[in-house]
Amino acid sequence: MIEAGRVSVNGVVIDSPALNVTGRDKLSVDDKPVEAAEPARLWLYHKPLGLVTTERDEQGRKTVFETLPDELPRVVSVGRLDINSEGLLLLTNDGGIKRKLELPSTGWLRKYRVRVKGAPDDDQIAPLRKGIEVEGVRFQPMTVSIDRIQGANAWLTVSIREGKNREVRRAAQAVGLTVNRLIRVSYGPFQLGQLKPGEVSEIKGRVLRDQLGMASPAAADAADPSKSLGKRRGPTSKEVLRSRKVGRRPPR
């Protein structure tokens, strides 16, 4: 943006990022004042069955972002749940939080309630507890408990730390178990709780900072406004989707 001459400080177009900017300076992009940075936020969302976790779907299937409340700002998901999975999906307006929570090094436990066809015993699920390789992909050891046998099905609780693509389903299939229902009930310290399908609940800022061990992004941007250049308040997820459908740019 700077090289294109779109950024100005106190009315003067700048050509280099090597400039000290304080809270008293006025920043503009394309002659529009840079608004205060929107604080980093995180929401719990109970994803229902039948939705894909993407902004656009080539097959025309309904997406998570089409069903979100209108008042929600533009958000991205932390990881994904496939169309046949349900339960806790974290949403955030901050790319840094998304990256932090998705990193394997974070090591946060993802816990699932899993219904499988049949009546598995400890011998059958032992490979999952030890770690298993499926089609050249190595899955780390899982914590698996057999909760109850119910008719032709069994309910398991499965906990993983990596969250590779369809990990639980693929690993279960490898030991002869077909998953016919999968519900994520927690992601690290964040719980699905009593949230109903389709409902959204925001995590309080203090809890967010405590759990992620991070300072308030709003405070950091206030001290250094140049950091807010890419974080101006933007359109909601639904506004972005509507604009794409009609071929217009989303509102700024």
Neighbouring CB atoms inside 10 A of 94's CB total 20
Q: Is 82 a catalytic residue?
A: yes
CB-based contacts of 202, cutoff 8 Å, min separation 6: 41, 42, 43, 44
End-to-end CA distance of the chain: 16
**Which entry of 15, 31, 57, 82 is annotated as an active-site residue?**
82
Q: How many CB atoms lie within 10 A of CB 200?
A: 17
* Residue 150 token pair: 């119910």
Distance CA 47, CA 196 (A): 9
What ranges in the chain are assigned the alpha helix state H?
95-102, 122-130, 167-174, 205-212, 217-223, 237-246
Upper half-sphere CA count for residue 161 (Cβ side, 13 Å)? 12
Count of CA atoms in the C-beta half-sphere (13 A) of 140 = 11
**Residues with catalytic roles:** 82
